[in-house]
Amino acid sequence: RFHREGFQEGLAEGSHVGMAEGRRQGALHGARMGSEIGCYLGFALTWHCLLQKCTDEKNSKRIRALDSLIGMIQKFPYEDPTYDKLQEDLEKIRGKFKQVCAMLNIPSDFRIGTEKSSLAF
């Protein structure tokens, strides 16, 4: 009887603690992912505006790559955590970001300001 009661109490406590820990981890990782994607979007929109003034062929290729990155980010399913290709799509966005950085001759792990602030993902 004591074994069964202890098991039931432990199961209930473990379920409660597990749910709380799962929520914390989900919120943390969701915030990191949102911050990363937001950084990519801000980067792409800024460079898109800067390159609009130049009309040579090299810049038109860069603008097309930036348009592609912006489109991928806009189609990303932010509100659906059960989306089965979430990680796959995020990896594609990261790859496109690296491609755009290469086209712009910017290292994809560049630093902004202080050592604590960075865009390395």
For 80, half-sphere exposure in the C-beta direction (CA atoms, 13 angstrom radius) is: 10
Q: Would you say residue 120 lies in a domain?
A: no
Mean pLDDT of all residues in 60-64: 91
User: Which single residue is written with the structure tokens 């290729």?
Assistant: 61
Q: Would you say residue 33 lies in a domain?
A: yes
Q: Would you say residue 24 lies in a domain?
A: yes
Mean pLDDT estimate for the chain: 84
Q: What is the pTM of this model?
A: 0.73
Query: Higher pLDDT residue, 109 or 77?
Result: 77
Domain count, the chain: 1
Which pLDDT score, from 0 to 100, does residue 39 have?
Answer: 92
pLDDT band at 112 (very low <50, low <70, confident <90, very high): very low
Q: Would you say residue 87 lies in a domain?
A: yes
Which pLDDT score, from 0 to 100, does residue 9 have?
Answer: 85
Alpha helices in 52-84 (DSSP H): 57-75
Could you tell me which residues are beta bridge partners of residue 111? 118
What 87-92 contacts at long range (C-beta under 8 Å, 24+ apart), as own/partner pairs, is 90/33, 90/37
Q: Which domain holds residue 85?
A: 1-104
What is the C-alpha separation between 71 and 92, in angstroms, rounded?
12
Mean pLDDT of all residues in 70-76: 93
Q: Would you say residue 116 lies in a domain?
A: no
Q: Would you say residue 114 lies in a domain?
A: no
Using the predicted structure, report yes or no on whether residue 54 has a pLDDT greater than 60: yes
